[in-house]
Structure 1
Amino acid sequence: MRILLILFLAFSFGIIYAEKGTYINEIQFIQYLDESNALEEVKNGNLDMYYSRIPSELLETPESRQNLDVFYVTGGSYSILVNPAEGDNLNPFSNQEIRFALNYLIDRRLVVDELMGGYGIPMASNYGPYDPDYLLILSEIEKFHFRYNPEHANEVITKILTEKGAQKTEGKWYYDNKPIAITIFIRNDDPVRKSIGEILSSEIEKIGFVVHKDFGDLNKAYVTVYGSNPSDLKWNLYTEGWAGRSAFVKYDSLGPAQMYAPWFSNMPGFNNPSYWNYKNPHLDDVTQKIYSGNFTSMVERENLIRDAVSEGVRESVRVFLASKIDPFVTNKRIGGVINDFGGGITNRLTPINVRSNDDDLKIGVKQIYQGAWNPIGGLSDAYSKNIWDLLYDPGIFKNPYSGENFSVREIWKVETAGPHGRLDVPHDTIIWDPVLQKWANVGPGVKATSKVTFDLTFGNWHSGQKMDMNDVLYSMYFSSEWGSSQTENDKTFDSAYSPQASQSQKTLVGMRPIDDHTVEVYVNYWHFDDSEIAGWASAWPVIPWEVTAAMEKIVLDGKASFSRTDAQAKNLNWLSLVVPRDSSLIKETLGEFQRTKYVPAALLSFDNGAQYYDSRYASAIKWIERKNHAIISNGPFYLETYSPEARAMTIRSFDDPSYPFEAGYWGKFEKVNLPKITQIDIPSQIILGQPLEIPILTSNATQIYYFVSTGAGDEIDVGVLDVNQNAAKITLSAAQTQKMIPGGNDLKLYAISDLVLKPDIYTTSVFAISADSQNHTETIIQNSSKTGKTENLGLVSVILGIIIICIVVYVRKSKTRLQRQH
């Protein structure tokens, strides 16, 4: 389930066994820090693609795009992480109102238009405009009326600091006769984030704070921001960047928890038990309900998301600025690129499906190594994740355009009595008992909300060993053992991993192996989409049990930790299977297992035989000796080499008769028909208090979400229109247009389809005038005509003409801005 080692997702097809699952034999990932250098290398063919955004100004002319295909990738974002801790010195951001004031201090439109070259959209929450759940929370976000307003931010900050006893002298804030200093950690390996940091520093200085700028990359951020005790105040603000998900997600259960809730180990303190930690019981409760399916209807889930996002925005420990629309490039000779709406071209399907004139592929990356490689508490940065995603096959994955689960190597059948009913659980269903350290039957009379039967498409591990039910059992054991409630002197607890695993473990009723490739999983989990139940209950392993067992022993012996947070708390190494020191530890531990004929407790009650265990240990040891790393998985590629000196990694096609997918199998995802708004008819001006109809024409769309608000952000109307024969119509009553303000009012349209959830976004202005203004204008014109003062009529006509031209120009500019984003 997410009861596995990591939260990777999945669906179902007929399986064709093939000897080669990719067109490419070898992929080399090479570090290129400089985007302009990488762009030239892609142009001249030394690189085939680059796994990082290219600044838009480098792609403005036809000549600059020569030999290139440009793909626009959505899903990423920029944010500010705020330190809310109290320390020895005054930290203004320990106050919620001051944190919230940052939303008015940062000019999001400037960030998009100037720093991002127009390739983005302002955002105020964890959901950007291209996320399916965005339309659920848009009305809530609009209620905050976020506009760049530094005067308002200054008023709020002045009020709070004065109440705390601070004084402002000659434009500078002092507390206890010392200047109030703010340290901003600025990522200087990303030009946009560097500029965001500079602008933020300037705004903070204007408020009256002394600003210290600390520049660095992700490795330094791991130490200074994510690795230090927040109460030490080594940082106050941090310019974060998010590369998007590994795949597009229709129902996002993780986002609100990951970005706002303390329990998920991604908020200041990061659940390090020796550090100050941000706490918010309400956010924990609401986001855990979203994450673990603790709702009884789609409407209840939507309300939970609105609650979580609204509270997260109010708390403003993480302040979102802009959703990215990033240009990515490939050389024109490369075919078969799949541009996932969440993961972009760096999603796992692209390298598996790409075609080239050569058998090899060279991909430039911004960083080659920024964090530990282990599938328990590592592989947490985009750089490592993009490569790791090619080395394993998920049981279930996401459709790149609809975000729905589909089967990869787990064919499922869901039975559910939820949300209110219960199913009988067979008495011989087993569950891991962390106290007795053995599998136990659940016994008679046990009930569960849902049952998922998985037919598992096993193959060989990269080491040559066959996957089997022991791998599934050990994965289930691990998440149950490490996700169980922490007891005194409990060593099977990781401060980052265990709180997440516990949410899955709490819902697991048990599992029941049926034969050597079929297993039933019983869970107290429900979702209105059966495929989400299958995704939650997934029983698919991504590394062999013997490697997990070796990692576990190393951690229990105090030689390393699974997660960065736990490593920092215990002053240990963060376990990384590609680092020679750690892979040697894995090899030594496997050798000890082999010499002592060790059988893990999780496999003791199953009849495997001594030869089976010896063969497993020997194969893994041989792999580590040959490859100098301990990454063993089951995907279409395997890791051949990692060279820190050359800043490169090489992966090779796993050409094995047991691999179930032939080359080109995923080509079905190469093409997509995007919904489009093709025409909208809005009068040049409307009369307040008169009904209004706005006809809309579309293509490839099934629904239109619309939002009408005043220029000040007050909601007038919100609705969803079904598209019939490519047409729809917004109808506003006289009472609704009466709520508009004279001048510009805002209209936002989002066209989507059932199969493609990336909306076409259209924003424009509706110019309104009062009936009195119209009558007054008509009177002027009539009187001018009667008296023969044609010069006045001419003047009025010119004025009216200028007004109409300005309106048209404004509307056209608004439309052009949004079209540029598609």
Structure 2
Amino acid sequence: SAIPTPLRAVPVEVETRARRNEEGDVVGDFDVPANAINYCPFNEAWLKVGEGKKSMSMATYEFRFGNLHHGQPISVVDFLYAQGFQMEWANKEGDDDLQYERAYSSSLKNSLDTIIGWVLNEDDTITVYFDYNFPASKERVASWGAPGISVSASGHAVGCAWEIAEAMSLLVTEGSKSGTSYSITMDPAFTEVDAIAPACVKDIRAKLVEMKERKHIPNYIKEFVDEQYVLERYDAAIKFIDNYGHAYISNGPFYLSKFDSTSNFMELRAFRDPSYPFEDTYWIEELKTLRLEIESIETPAFIGKGSDLPVTVHVAEVTYPIDEAIPATVGEVTVSLIIGQESVEFKAVMVQHGVFECTIPASVFEKLESGSYVIMAIAELEGAIPASASTSVVLF
């Protein structure tokens, strides 16, 4: 359907107020609260946006938190870290800015610049004010402003725990125990950080130990956490690496339990943590949709001129992704007689569940030459891909 599907951030309120000004530009009419915040890489802190800011859209999101694969709980802090990280690495503060990657910036900066500010609500929801207008789909508007926990610029919502992202970034800016020079993007002059490559994983673990020893707190979250919080995260990450041999600590329904870079083998296991927010049947129900399937077309194989041609189409209603089929109770069926490059269409009528009938009148065949003709049936249901099938009839 191409409709964005909420995962961790679920929009509970979405509204757009946009208009064209006298110059013809689209502008927003939302008054952004002065206490809304956005991360400023130049000040290395979350700052209030102040008075007088406007935005095109506003959305409030609640969250399905749960635990990460190393058992540490997801919270608003994870979303703050990701937003701060992206703002830091996508904005150049000077020629000697080590926390800037041009390729990373080119993928993210335009969209980041549309975010005016966040309001952190007391009930652990976040209200986002942003410049995006898409009248055709409120879901797409909500998706644009949704906070995430991934710092990736790949376009895929694949994320690691923030402490892994932080360790990787420090490998780039501070250096590594192995002496390898790292980059967060593909650069032939450097080695790209990698959460599963054995050599990089060793450096990530060593950096986590350093971070723990100096009680390092990232700038993106220092206003919102204490030492105990970050130390627990570092300990859990180190333990995970020791147990599984990699640093890909994510949040999905499966975790990477085994990985062998030599044989290109990996094993995924179901993440059975009771905090995981989706039951095993959730997505089956959430994504459930109907499609029609034409099971058969019944019509005489031969017909003489002067005779009507009865056509019966048997249609099943299939529930995706379960693929359970029952006689169709909905939908429309069109029967076409193909004549060279043209066709004559007839609407079939449902006479009982799963059975559609129509009659091609004898008058249609009067001026046709004897021979074989194709009969095509198309079953349609709003929002579904049309189903089609064909058969042939010999006119004599």
TM-score calculated relative to the size of structure 1: 0.35
1:448 corresponds in structure 2 to 55
Are 2:335 and 2:348, in contact at CA under 8 Å, matched by a contact in 1? yes
Q: Against the structure 1 CA distance between its residues 446 and 658, is the aligned structure 2 distance closer, same or farther, given a 3 Å change threshold?
A: same
Are 1:482 and 1:492, in contact at CA under 8 Å, matched by a contact in 2? yes
1:591 is the counterpart of 2:209? yes
2:10 corresponds in structure 1 to 411
Superposed, 1:223-234 pairs within 5 Å as none
Q: Against the structure 1 CA distance between its residues 681 and 543, is the aligned structure 2 distance closer, same or farther, given a 3 Å change threshold?
A: same
1:561 corresponds in structure 2 to 183
1:680 is the counterpart of 2:336? yes
Structure-2 separation of matches of 1:407 and 1:697: 39
Are 1:484 and 1:505, in contact at CA under 8 Å, matched by a contact in 2? no
Structure-2 separation of matches of 1:600 and 1:478: 9
1:655 is the counterpart of 2:272? yes
Residue correspondences, number: 308
Superposed, 1:447-466 pairs within 5 Å as 447-466=54-73
TM-score calculated relative to the size of structure 2: 0.70
1:636 corresponds in structure 2 to 253
Q: Against the structure 1 CA distance between its residues 616 and 516, is the aligned structure 2 distance closer, same or farther, given a 3 Å change threshold?
A: farther
* SS of corresponding position for 1:406: coil
Q: CA deviation at 1:684?
A: 4.4
1:426 corresponds in structure 2 to 33
Are 1:469 and 1:516, in contact at CA under 8 Å, matched by a contact in 2? no
Are 2:334 and 2:378, in contact at CA under 8 Å, matched by a contact in 1? no
Deviations 1:714-747 (A, max 9, x none): xxxxxxxxxxx999xxxxxxxxxxxxxxxxxxxx
Structure-2 separation of matches of 1:490 and 1:678: 64
Deviations 1:278-300 (A, max 9, x none): xxxxxxxxxxxxxxxxxxxxxxx
1:537 is the counterpart of 2:154? no
1:602 is the counterpart of 2:220? yes
Q: CA deviation at 1:454?
A: 0.5
2:345 corresponds in structure 1 to 695
Q: CA deviation at 1:752?
A: 6.3
1:525 is the counterpart of 2:136? no
Structure-2 separation of matches of 1:409 and 1:459: 9
Q: CA deviation at 1:471?
A: 0.6
1:550 is the counterpart of 2:167? yes
Are 1:464 and 1:619, in contact at CA under 8 Å, matched by a contact in 2? yes
Are 2:86 and 2:108, in contact at CA under 8 Å, matched by a contact in 1? yes
Are 2:197 and 2:261, in contact at CA under 8 Å, matched by a contact in 1? no
Structure-2 separation of matches of 1:698 and 1:563: 58
Q: CA deviation at 1:698?
A: 7.7
1:572 is the counterpart of 2:190? yes
Structure-1 separation of matches of 2:80 and 2:348: 51
Q: CA deviation at 1:649?
A: 0.6
Q: Against the structure 1 CA distance between its residues 563 and 472, is the aligned structure 2 distance closer, same or farther, given a 3 Å change threshold?
A: same
Deviations 1:44-65 (A, max 9, x none): xxxxxxxxxxxxxxxxxxxxxx
Structure-1 separation of matches of 2:223 and 2:58: 24
Structure 1 portions without partners, runs of 5+? 1-401, 687-692, 701-724, 728-748, 764-804, 810-822
Tell me the amino acid that sits aligned with residue 221 of structure 2: L
Deviations 1:426-470 (A, max 9, x none): 111001111111111000111111111000010111111111111
Deviations 1:72-125 (A, max 9, x none): xxxxxxxxxxxxxxxxxxxxxxxxxxxxxxxxxxxxxxxxxxxxxxxxxxxxxx
Superposed, 1:16-95 pairs within 5 Å as none
Q: CA deviation at 1:488?
A: 2.1
Structure-2 separation of matches of 1:660 and 1:423: 33
1:622 is the counterpart of 2:222? no
Structure 2 portions without partners, runs of 5+? 21-27, 150-158, 176-180, 295-332, 351-355, 359-376
Q: CA deviation at 1:543?
A: 2.6
* SS of corresponding position for 2:183: coil
Q: Against the structure 1 CA distance between its residues 752 and 409, is the aligned structure 2 distance closer, same or farther, given a 3 Å change threshold?
A: farther
Are 2:291 and 2:381, in contact at CA under 8 Å, matched by a contact in 1? no
**Alignment root-mean-square deviation, CA:** 3.1
Structure-1 separation of matches of 2:226 and 2:144: 32
1:387 corresponds in structure 2 to none
Superposed, 1:372-391 pairs within 5 Å as none
Structure-2 separation of matches of 1:452 and 1:752: 35
* SS of corresponding position for 2:86: helix
1:260 corresponds in structure 2 to none
Tell me the amino acid that sits aligned with residue 418 of structure 1: A
Larger fraction in strand: 2
Structure-2 separation of matches of 1:545 and 1:465: 11
Are 2:83 and 2:148, in contact at CA under 8 Å, matched by a contact in 1? no
Larger fraction in helix: 1
Tell me the amino acid that sits aligned with residue 383 of structure 2: L
1:470 corresponds in structure 2 to 77
Q: Against the structure 1 CA distance between its residues 681 and 576, is the aligned structure 2 distance closer, same or farther, given a 3 Å change threshold?
A: same
Are 2:38 and 2:49, in contact at CA under 8 Å, matched by a contact in 1? yes
Q: CA deviation at 1:404?
A: 1.4
Q: CA deviation at 1:665?
A: 2.1
Q: Against the structure 1 CA distance between its residues 552 and 698, is the aligned structure 2 distance closer, same or farther, given a 3 Å change threshold?
A: farther
2:316 corresponds in structure 1 to none
Structure-2 separation of matches of 1:526 and 1:630: 38
Tell me the amino acid that sits aligned with residue 138 of structure 2: D
Structure-1 separation of matches of 2:215 and 2:251: 25
Deviations 1:303-358 (A, max 9, x none): xxxxxxxxxxxxxxxxxxxxxxxxxxxxxxxxxxxxxxxxxxxxxxxxxxxxxxxx
Q: Against the structure 1 CA distance between its residues 584 and 750, is the aligned structure 2 distance closer, same or farther, given a 3 Å change threshold?
A: farther
Deviations 1:661-701 (A, max 9, x none): 22222223466414777522344477xxxxxx84255899x
2:371 corresponds in structure 1 to none
Deviations 1:472-509 (A, max 9, x none): 10111112122225642232332332101112111110
Decide which of 99, 110, 118 is 1:492's aligned counterpart. 99
Are 1:430 and 1:440, in contact at CA under 8 Å, matched by a contact in 2? yes
Tell me the amino acid that sits aligned with residue 31 of structure 2: D
Q: Against the structure 1 CA distance between its residues 573 and 525, is the aligned structure 2 distance closer, same or farther, given a 3 Å change threshold?
A: same
Structure-2 separation of matches of 1:759 and 1:587: 53
Are 2:335 and 2:378, in contact at CA under 8 Å, matched by a contact in 1? no
Structure-2 separation of matches of 1:508 and 1:488: 25
Superposed, 1:125-164 pairs within 5 Å as none
Are 1:458 and 1:467, in contact at CA under 8 Å, matched by a contact in 2? yes
Deviations 1:359-389 (A, max 9, x none): xxxxxxxxxxxxxxxxxxxxxxxxxxxxxxx
